[in-house]
Every structure is written in C-alpha cells, then in structure tokens.
C-alpha cells in the first residue's frame, strides 16, 4: 500500500520518523480517497435505497445526512420563493421539481457529451456512490431524459446538486440549480425560413428592458465559441442565442426590479446597493452547448457568476431522439439569485434550521431584506505545509481559492486541464475543503490559498491556506477553534503526507 501511493524512490532515504508519518499518511490517504475495504461500508443507504459501494465510493456521511432536504420546494423557504419567481418568468414551461439526486454516470456525464478525460468526472470534484452511480453534479443530468419525453417545448427543472468544491460564502457542497430549456421543432415548419420567422416572432414578444448589459463578443467565434456548423446555420444560432440572452435578462430584471420596489417601499433599501443593476455576458465552454455563455451580475463591488447557458449541442438532441429540434438551455444557481434577492450574505444560512432565519421569509408577502440576527467574530487560522515529494502533481484550483464565484468543472466548464480522471493527484485543494467541512461543519466560513511557493533549490512546493471559522449562531471560543484547526492540520498530515511548516 505504501509503495502504491508514495511512489518516490527516495522514500527509504528519509529519516525514520518522517517515514513513519508518510507511511501512515499514505495508508490513510488511500482510506480517504477510496474508503479501502476495511472502512467502506458494503452498501450506502440513500433515501431508503441501498447502493453497493466499491473503490470509487467517496460520499461522506455528512453529505448523505443532508440528502433529501429539498429546500427548493419547502414552503416559505427563500430558495423555494426564488424558484417560483424564476419559474414565473417562463410561462407555459413545464416544471419538474422532484427528481431524485442519485443518477448514473451516463446521465450526469456521457449523455451530455463530457469527454472521458473531462476533469469534472474525477473523484476530486464529484461524489461517487460507486463507479457507475453518483450524486448529480448539475441539473443538466436530466436533460436527455426530459428532451426524450418531449412533452413541452419549454421546461424547467429545479433540484439539489452536489459537488466537492471550494469553501467560501458563495460555495457549498450541496446547492440548488434550475435548468431551463426551450426548443423549436424544425420539422413542424414548411421551410427553415418559416422556423426562423417563428423564433424571431417569439423573440419580438419577449419583454424589453433598460438594463445595462455588457456583451462585447460576437454571437459565435470560430475558436473560442463555435457555431455548430454541421447542424445550424449562422442565422439560426444567432437568433436562438439572442432569444436565450433576452429571456434570461428579462428574468433577472423582473426579479430584481420587484425586489427593489419592495425594499424601497418598506424603507429597507441599502445604501451602496443602489447602483443600477448591471449584467455582463462572458464566453464559456460546456460540453452540452455551443456557443455558450455565462451571465454575471454586479453585486457588492464584484462580478458574481449566476448562470451558464448556450445553444443546445445537436448530438445531445439526437441522442434524445429529437434530431429536428433546435434550441437553448441554461442552468442557474438558485442560491446565487436568492442571495442577491434577499441580501443573504452567506450560503450556509440556507441550511439553517434557526427560526430567526426561517421566520423572515413568507411566500405570500412581498420580498423583504434579510435582517442578520448575529454578527459573531471570525477566527482565522493558517495552515502552511510542504507537499510530499511525489511524482504526482498537486492541484490547486486557482478559481475557487482566489475567492471568485467560478465553480468547479463538475458542471462542464473546463476550469482544470483534461487529465486521466482515474488517477489521483497528490493533493487537490478540494481535499482540504472537505477535511475542513467534515471537522468544522458549517462553522467553517472560508478556505483560501494565501501563499504558494516553490523552494528554488529543493523544488519543494509549499502552500499556505487561511481557514476562517465563524459560527452563524454564536461566538466560538479560542479553545474550540484551536481544537478544530489542530484536527484539520492533523488530518492533512495523516491523509496527504504533508509536512506542516
Ligand atoms: C453547470 O452546472 C452547467 N450544467 C450549466 C448549464 C446548463 C450550461 C445548461 C449550459 C446549459 P456551472 O458549473 O457553471 O454550470 O454552474 C451553474 C451555476 O450554478 C453557476 O453559475 C452558479 O450560479 C451555480 N453554482 C455552481 N457551483 C456552485 C456552488 N458550489 N455553490 C453555489 N452555487 C454554485
Ligand atoms: Mg459556470
């Protein structure tokens, strides 16, 4: 086992005590990553259904215990209110809101055209129940099934999704997405032009707005954001893309205009948030759309990514037995919208069972700004360590640690380069995120990289992360923060063979 993970030849040249640390570290690492035979239960029971486990299993109990809360349909929950508001901007669309979160690898990745080496498939990013079964990483996992059902031109689908991801105020390992799609059946028109005319007519009926929109890029771009030349004419892709953008801009405008009105009426408008709403379109990449974009909203002095979208990949529609349909799809983070809408400052709050949180939301009343009920101090602690010498690389996802809102690759974006998803890196930032969450639960507010240094002579790499502890409910004592942090450092040594500096 030791030889398996400590591949370096110089292992025996190390001092005895370090060998011992590394030995147990490597052993434990195998346990963490694959739950070796001794610790992996033979089966996992999720929502009353038993699933056999194997060497791919990596779902911790802390995630399973949160499974099935269905906050997006809980009456008066801010996520449910947000879902209903978004749905109301897509009249005539059929809403699917109760699909179970355990899906196959085929549904989550293959059916969407994820390449075999797409980093989103790796166990560092995704929670596997076993090699063929996982907790969906995005609502796109159901696209092909719903397109195949072919019951309406437009549909939305809201659900809980699961990702091994960064820890900060806008990322949580379970969050909620709404998928939406609209397609036109080209075979039901007399000519391609008649279909184009229908899309144009529909576009013209979409409400206009006076939102400030930055959209500097062309409708598609040969290298960066290609047209699906084999299947779509330039006119079709351009029009479908314009319809998509206008529909989503309308959704954002309507939701925030309503919120603004309510806040101003109740005297709750906050100084500094009175800047006019601003959105921008950014070119993106998803295996299941092309061209693709992300919408970002200006919020509290920064651009916050709220959704990904694009013109649906035609081979996907062909796999769903809908070769004649053309259209758009989007996936939006409901937490991100709810945070903007209610002024909720921290994503952990959505999981709170504290009445001081829950009683502030009522779906039959106008939107009210969330009133923080506590401001407990944050307790930052640093963990600085040397990575073990290993032939394998360490993956430090710059996007998540730098505090931006960019998500992991598990939704399709290529935020990491393609790699052999079956082999595991020496260290992945998400491993530290999970250790911190497992030990500190919701009292860990933020984990971010503050230093990355490679020794010029030894070429050893050292990383330093700052972990911020803060309870939403009470002030933490120094002793309990120290105890949690010591455990985090201890687990890093044990599981990854790092050397604390
Ligand atoms: C996806 O998941 C794509 N499947 C979206 C899509 C659907 C594209 C249909 C094209 C067509 P992405 O990984 O960027 O994309 O996630 C979409 C949104 O989910 C993000 O914009 C963000 O609002 C939200 N999100 C992602 N990760 C987190 C997280 N850890 N916590 C909270 N919200 C998140
Ligand atoms: Mg994204």
Q: Spell out which residues line ligand 1, taking CB within 6 angstroms.
A: 138, 140, 163, 165, 171-172, 175, 177, 179, 286, 288-289, 292, 305-310, 329-331, 333, 335-336, 407, 411-413
118 alpha carbon – ligand 2 mean position (Å): 15
* Closest CA to ligand 1's atom 16: 411
In the numeric block, which tokens belong to residue 470?
């803060």
Q: CA distances (Å), 280 to each of 215, 222, 247, 296, 305, in order?
A: 6, 21, 14, 5, 9
**Per-residue pLDDT, 235:** 97
**Per-residue pLDDT, 170:** 84
Q: Give the whole-angstrom CA distance, residue 127 versus residue 123.
A: 7
* Closest CA to ligand 1's atom 14: 308
* Closest CA to ligand 1's atom 31: 171
Given the CA of residue 166, which atom of ligand 1 is nearest to it? 30
Supply φ then ψ for residue 452, to 5 degrees.
Answer: -140, 115
Pocket perturbation via mutation, ligand 1, pick of 138, 289, 299 by most ligand atoms within 8 A of CB: 138
Beta-carbon contacts of residue 294 (< 8 Å; ≥ 6 apart): 281, 282, 284, 305, 307, 308, 309
Among residues 429, 381, 493, 423, the alpha carbon closest in space to that of 165 is found at 429
Which contiguous run of DSSP H or E holds residue 95? strand 94-96
* Closest CA to ligand 1's atom 6: 331
**Per-residue pLDDT, 20:** 34
409 alpha carbon – ligand 1 mean position (Å): 9
**Residue pointed to by tokens 């990596």:** 58
**Residue pointed to by tokens 């011992």:** 20
CA neighbours closer than 13 Å in the CB half-sphere of residue 45 = 1
Bridge partners, residue 178, by sequence: 158, 332
**Ligand (nearest to CA of 289):** 1
Label residue 204 left, alpha or beta by phi (over 0 means left) and psi (-120 to 50 means alpha).
alpha
Question: Mean pLDDT in the chain?
Answer: 86
Beta-carbon contacts of residue 105 (< 8 Å; ≥ 6 apart): 121, 131, 132, 133, 134
Pocket perturbation via mutation, ligand 1, pick of 139, 307, 349 by most ligand atoms within 8 A of CB: 307
Pocket perturbation via mutation, ligand 1, pick of 241, 308, 434 by most ligand atoms within 8 A of CB: 308
**Per-residue pLDDT, 407:** 60
Tens digit of pLDDT for each residue in 43-95?
A: 999 999 999 999 999 999 889 999 999 999 999 999 999 999 999 999 999 99
pLDDT per residue as tens, the chain (501 positions): 222 222 222 222 333 333 333 333 333 333 344 333 347 889 999 999 999 999 999 999 889 999 999 999 999 999 999 999 999 999 999 999 999 999 999 999 999 999 999 999 999 999 999 999 999 999 999 999 999 999 999 999 999 999 998 888 888 999 999 999 999 999 999 999 999 999 999 999 999 988 899 999 999 999 999 999 999 999 999 999 999 999 999 999 888 777 777 777 777 766 556 677 899 999 999 999 999 999 999 876 788 899 999 999 999 999 999 999 999 999 999 999 999 889 898 999 999 999 999 999 999 998 888 998 878 899 999 999 999 877 567 777 544 433 454 567 888 887 667 777 777 777 888 889 889 988 998 899 999 999 999 999 988 899 999 999 998 888 999 999 999 999 999 999 988 889 999
Q: pTM for the complete prediction?
A: 0.84
138 alpha carbon – ligand 1 mean position (Å): 7
Q: Give the whole-angstrom CA distance, residue 218 versus residue 34.
A: 45
* Closest CA to ligand 1's atom 22: 333
Q: CA distances (Å), 391 to each of 2, 102, 231, in order?
A: 14, 35, 44
**Ligand (nearest to CA of 408):** 1
Q: Give the whole-angstrom CA distance, residue 381 versus residue 483.
A: 11
């Amino acid at each position: 086992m030791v030889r398996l993970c400590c591949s370096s030849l110089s292992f025996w040249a190390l001092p005895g005590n370090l060998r011992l640390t590394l030995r147990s570290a490597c052993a434990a690492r195998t346990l963490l990553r694959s739950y070796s035979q001794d610790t992996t239960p033979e089966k996992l029971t999720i929502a009353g259904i038993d699933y056999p486990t194997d060497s791919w299993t990596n779902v911790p109990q802390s995630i399973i215990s949160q499974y099935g809360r269905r906050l997006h349909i809980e009456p008066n929950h801010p996520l449910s209110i947000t879902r209903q508001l978004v749905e109301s901007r897509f009249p005539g669309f059929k809403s699917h809101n109760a699909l179970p979160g355990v899906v196959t690898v085929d549904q989550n990745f293959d059916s969407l055209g994820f390449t075999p080496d797409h980093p989103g498939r790796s166990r560092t990013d995704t929670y596997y129940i076993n090699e063929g079964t996982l907790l969906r990483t995005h609502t796109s996992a159901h696209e092909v099934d719903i397109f195949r059902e072919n019951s309406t031109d437009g549909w939305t689908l809201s659900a809980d999704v699961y990702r091994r991801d960064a820890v900060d105020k806008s990322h949580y390992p379970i969050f909620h997405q709404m998928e939406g799609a609209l397609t036109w059946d080209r075979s039901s028109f007399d000519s391609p032009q008649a279909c184009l005319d229908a899309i144009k007519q529909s576009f013209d009926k979409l409400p206009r707005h006076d939102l400030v929109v930055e959209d500097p890029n062309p409708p598609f771009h040969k290298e960066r954001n290609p047209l699906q030349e084999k299947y779509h004419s330039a006119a079709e892709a351009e029009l479908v893309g314009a319809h998509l953008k206008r529909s989503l801009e309308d959704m954002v405008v309507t939701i925030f205009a309503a919120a603004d009105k309510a806040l101003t009426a109740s005297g709750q408008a906050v100084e500094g948030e009175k800047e006019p709403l601003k959105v921008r379109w950014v070119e993106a990449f998803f295996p299941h759309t092309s061209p693709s974009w992300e919408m970002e909203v200006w919020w509290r002095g920064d651009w916050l990514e709220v959704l990904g979208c694009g013109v649906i990949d035609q081979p996907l529609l062909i796999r769903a037995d809908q070769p004649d349909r053309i259209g758009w799809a989007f996936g939006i983070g409901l937490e991100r919208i709810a945070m903007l809408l209610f002024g909720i400052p921290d994503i952990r709050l959505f999981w709170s069972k504290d009445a001081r949180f829950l009683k502030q939301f009522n779906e039959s009343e106008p939107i009210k700004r969330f009133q923080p009920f506590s401001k407990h101090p944050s307790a930052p602690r640093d963990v600085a360590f040397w990575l073990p010498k290993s032939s394998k690389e360490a993956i430090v996802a710059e996007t998540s640690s730098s505090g931006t809102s960019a998500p992991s690759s598990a939704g399709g974006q290529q935020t990491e380069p393609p790699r052999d998803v079956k082999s595991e890196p020496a260290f992945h930032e998400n491993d530290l995120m999970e250790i911190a969450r497992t030990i500190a639960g919701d009292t860990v507010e933020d984990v971010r990289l503050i230093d990355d240094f490679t020794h010029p002579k030894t070429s050893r790499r050292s990383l330093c992360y700052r972990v911020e502890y803060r309870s939403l409910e009470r002030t933490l004592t120094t002793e309990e923060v120290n105890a949690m942090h010591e455990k985090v450092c201890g687990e890093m040594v044990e599981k990854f063979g790092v050397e604390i500096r």
